[in-house]
Structure 1
Amino acid sequence: MSRYEVHLADAARRHPGKTAIICGEREISYSELDRAADRFAGALARDAALVDGERCVVFMDNRIEVAVGVFGTLKAGGVFCVINPTTKADKLAFVLANCAASVLVTQASLVRVALEAAHQAPSVRKVVVVSDPAAVLPADAVDYEDFLASAPDRALAPVGIDIDLAMLVYTSGSTGRPKGVMMTHANIEHAATSITTYLQARSDDVVLSVLPLSFDYGLYQLLMCVKMGATLVLEKSFAFPQKVLPLLASREVTGFPLVPTMAALIVQLRNFNPEWARSVRFLTNTAAALPPSHILQLQHVFPQARIYSMYGMTESKRCTWLPPEQLAIRPDSVGIAIPGTQAWVADDRGNAVPPGVVGELMVRGGHVMQGYWDNEEATARVLRLGRYPWEKVLHTGDLFRMDDEGFLYFVGRKDEILKSRGEKVSPKEVENVLYAMPGIREAALVGVPDGMLGQSLKAIVVTDQPDMDARAVIGHCRAHLEEFMVPREVEFRDALPKTGTGKIRRSVLQAEAEGRVVASEVE
């Protein structure tokens, strides 16, 4: 057997008393986590009658029970799926019905939404609720502790092999209907091994993650920590940085995964305590490329840390990484293919293009998904025949260029490129310039329909300088961009719309600029 859950059993055997997860005031050791996962697996088999390959959906905040649910489901031979706790009942119902989930695990504060969704999904046989001992649960739900108590006294016998499906990660579809990305145990192992290799991850690492476990970037912090036998400090959000950042020092954190919105908040802090950064030896970033100005500021704030600029997508977890020593040479690059994989830029026919030419990024390797659950049409659009008859290559839908030395640069989504004055404009390139202007915390570029220009460029920004005006912003852009890329209009806002993972929803802003409505998204 070569399945991902063996890493938990190995860590429990090698480091039984070591802390696996810290979540608020709660801690759990590796031996305790392994035992809890065994009990959860046993309860799935006995009380929920879950059989090999059935799905268990976990609908909770970041907490220890999510890890128990993930590894317990794997131990039972099932497929886990973690859903963002802000998901509304109709979207949750779609997910449950789409993947024919057998079990739904949630928490007391979400039980109303969970049951409303479960009642619309006939496949759901059991709703398990993590609740206060004094809470009175609805008749159609079972208490988490009572559920674990139904488990047999011994661990289940190992089941399955590494090509079996292990997890579904639902990502937003262009129509608003989420798509379930299918990953096998082998997919997860390949991705986790590649990433921990270039991060030089160690068993004595302590990783602080505020990312939702429903977000694959957050989920892999858990999976990789267990693989290495490291410690995960799990927080629910980064809404209050002044409460989270001191944990870097008090927990002696060595690894800190970021997304661009977090980086923007950190570099704007005027009272960042240098002691907070003392133990941090690596920072990672994905979801969107960091503006080069923020990279420089992070290097100042975290002088001892190696900063890994990366690019990825749920369909292959991670695609590229930039060796930290390259930041000074090419700060706007997202690097090279992660170890054990290949990535290249291709034209519309799939043929590689020369350096400097913009095309679509292609990815191949053991980390590429198996497809979208029950969605052959969407799968066929992004997975196409590769070099070998048995291989599928991922067509990312993202536009890139490659330099003469093989380093990749993100240009934009195919459907996000703007056209103004007959010229193609990458919103990312303009946004990087906007972020370099002191006082701008968040920025997005949209195209406003214009009979003369095609699209007139409009910058939408969030600033912490109330006296900043549009002329100053336009002047800053004009000093750093070609004229056709300079915004003609600037709008100031208190905040920009974001996904549940903290990524700015440019599609919403673009729809507003065009006077249309976009479908809601599930993250």
Structure 2
Amino acid sequence: MTRTPFLLHHLLDAADPERRALSFGDSHLSYGEFGEAVRECAAQLVSHGLSRGDRVAIYLPRGLEECWAIFGASAAGGVFVPVNVLLKAPQLRHIVSDCEARVLVSSRSLAALVEPALEGISGCTVLYVEDMAEATAPTSGATEAGIGEDLAAILYTSGSTGMPKGVMLSHRNLLAGTRIVRTYLGISGQDRILSILPFSFDYGLNQLLTVVEQGASLVICTFRFGDEIVRALRDNEITGLAGVPTIWAILTQGAPLLRKTALPHLRYITNSGGRVPEATVKALRALLGETQIFLMYGLTEAFRSTFLPPEEIERRPTSIGKAIPECEVFAVTEDGRRAAPGEPGILVHRGPTVSLGYWRRPEETARVLRPHPFRDALEGGETVCYSGDLVVEDADGFFNFVGRGDGMIKSSGYRISPTEVEEALMATGLFRHVAAIGLPDALAGQKVHAVAVPLDESIDAMAVLRQLGETIAGYMVPRALELVDALPTTPNGKVDYPTLVRDRSIHVQS
């Protein structure tokens, strides 16, 4: 008898072992081969000292190995911590150290970065997938101990201040998100989903989990140009694609092949990670014909909050929709009232996808995860998630996104900490003061822009940005470095970020 899944790796139990599960280029895994790789990975982790609840950081290039490492960590009783391979040594070191990873799973192709990054960090064993494949796995080790409320994953995401912080997700959180998304997208075992988003991003991870839950097929893709995505959609007869605003801009503006390629199998596309411009939505509808377009809103701390049904797009092209199944979403004013229709308020999320909070950051957790504002504990009140984002609900119950409430920059689906960018610039020793801000951008939603007071007028701004690319991920590097004599400040001496953004946004849009 097949058990009801309550731990992540249980999703593999019901899969047809002969059916194709994963593809990457010319490499493929059936569900039987996938399950065997997961069991071998789990046994290897346990043989290297992994105990229940230990963290397993995963720093791998896109491919099949990343998938079985995620499920293998779960099967070993561990907590998987996927790390975006675009991150550089300082960010990798921070994440491994912060989560106190017991094991780092990586590739020998990344050893030149990994080994210096982890120098001096005690208690973390590095396992390279090439060696795991060559070794003989122990015959025992993987544990079935655990319940759905146990910690399953830590996803690191940038906040408005400091280095990335880890959002804790239970097995039950992940399974609920899988079930909910599968429900409203109508995903079945017949679907073939194209994966172009990193698994360190909850949006990308959910694609892997929904595929496995339904016994469907996932095609993992890397690309440099839009036409490569179009070919992958066509050649693999893809039925579902998830993207962020930049992807849709690339496909509508930089993929000439899309205009002359029929994609009859593409049943749906989904967007999250930022608002899609109305013009881009119209272009997608014109290019993709009968393909359903789902516009969504989410945050790592609560996974996914809203979606707009495709039939509403023509009437509400700028809306983020209504609450996802099994969840409630409402807006709360600054003074704690339920916002009236048309009145801005902070989006609050209630439901089974609300995370466990931030790893070892109780004060920050308490600011985001709070008691339900309108339900007494004796009346079934529980913890809800305050997004920090301003929304407006219309008379029909549909929400529109107004703006971010925490100063964080959101570019191409990435959440970027201004402080992290500023710290990297200051570490060069070339500036007196720096400020990183997000400016409107038609392709990325926002672009990172740095404003700095240099110590020496002869600074080569472009050379500084190239140097910055060696210490932080490419998507964090400012598009431009603006040199000024002084930064505007508030009466209490703090940098006046709103003025910086307002003055430059006016210039950008004019």
Q: TM-score, normalised by structure 2?
A: 0.79
Deviation at 1:271, TM superposition (A): 3.7
Asked if residue 2 in structure 1 is aligned to residue 6 in structure 2, the reply is yes
Contact 2:307 2:322 in 1 (8 A): yes
2:386 is matched by which residue type in structure 1? H
2:236 is matched by which residue type in structure 1? R
Distance 2:479 2:364 in 1: 22
Distance 1:117 1:92 in 2: 7
Distance 1:444 1:369 in 2: 26
Deviation at 1:96, TM superposition (A): 1.1
Asked if residue 66 in structure 1 is aligned to residue 52 in structure 2, the reply is no
**Identity within the alignment, %:** 34
**Shift in alpha-carbon separation, 1:388–1:164, aligned structure 2, 3 A:** farther
Q: Report the counterpart of residue 405 of structure 2 in structure 1.
A: 414
Q: Report the counterpart of residue 123 of structure 1 in structure 2.
A: 123
Deviation at 1:243, TM superposition (A): 2.1
Deviation at 1:128, TM superposition (A): 1.1
Query: Could you give the per-residue CA deviations for residues 410-452 of structure 1, whole angstroms, max 9, x where no partner exists?
Result: 01112459xxxxxxxxx99x96xx85xxxxx566599999xxx
Deviation at 1:109, TM superposition (A): 2.1
Distance 2:181 2:364 in 1: 27
In structure 1, the residue corresponding to 2:397 is in which secondary structure?
A: coil
Deviation at 1:364, TM superposition (A): 0.8
**Shift in alpha-carbon separation, 1:232–1:447, aligned structure 2, 3 A:** closer
Q: Report the counterpart of residue 158 of structure 1 in structure 2.
A: 144
In structure 1, the residue corresponding to 2:13 is in which secondary structure?
A: helix
2:40 is matched by which residue type in structure 1? R
1:193 is matched by which residue type in structure 2? R
Q: Report the counterpart of residue 132 of structure 2 in structure 1.
A: 144
In structure 2, the residue corresponding to 1:33 is in which secondary structure?
A: helix
Q: Report the counterpart of residue 176 of structure 2 in structure 1.
A: 190
Contact 1:7 1:226 in 2 (8 A): yes
From 252, 266, 270, the equivalent of 1:267 is 252
Q: Report the counterpart of residue 427 of structure 2 in structure 1.
A: none
Deviation at 1:512, TM superposition (A): 7.8
Asked if residue 255 in structure 1 is aligned to residue 255 in structure 2, the reply is no
Matched residue count: 433
**Shift in alpha-carbon separation, 1:128–1:515, aligned structure 2, 3 A:** farther
Contact 1:97 1:120 in 2 (8 A): no
1:77 is matched by which residue type in structure 2? G
In structure 1, the residue corresponding to 2:8 is in which secondary structure?
A: coil
1:10 is matched by which residue type in structure 2? A
Distance 1:254 1:83 in 2: 27
Deviation at 1:383, TM superposition (A): 0.9
Distance 1:26 1:506 in 2: 33
Contact 2:193 2:219 in 1 (8 A): yes
Query: Could you give the per-residue CA deviations for residues 366-411 of structure 1, whole angstroms, max 9, x where no partner exists?
Result: 1011010011121111111123547211110101000001000001
1:60 is matched by which residue type in structure 2? L
Asked if residue 393 in structure 1 is aligned to residue 397 in structure 2, the reply is no
**Shift in alpha-carbon separation, 1:40–1:443, aligned structure 2, 3 A:** closer
Distance 2:400 2:192 in 1: 31
Asked if residue 358 in structure 1 is aligned to residue 359 in structure 2, the reply is no
Q: TM-score, normalised by structure 1?
A: 0.77
CA RMSD of aligned residues (A): 3.0
Distance 2:473 2:341 in 1: 33
Distance 1:182 1:302 in 2: 37
In structure 2, the residue corresponding to 1:262 is in which secondary structure?
A: helix
Contact 2:56 2:105 in 1 (8 A): yes
Deviation at 1:270, TM superposition (A): 3.4
**Shift in alpha-carbon separation, 1:447–1:204, aligned structure 2, 3 A:** closer
Deviation at 1:81, TM superposition (A): 0.7
Deviation at 1:151, TM superposition (A): 2.5
What does 1:368-517 correspond to in 2, within 5 Å? 368-386=354-372, 387=375, 389=377, 391-416=382-407, 435=442, 441=443, 444=446
Structure 1 alignment gaps of length 5 or more? 132-142, 418-426, 436-440, 450-496, 519-523
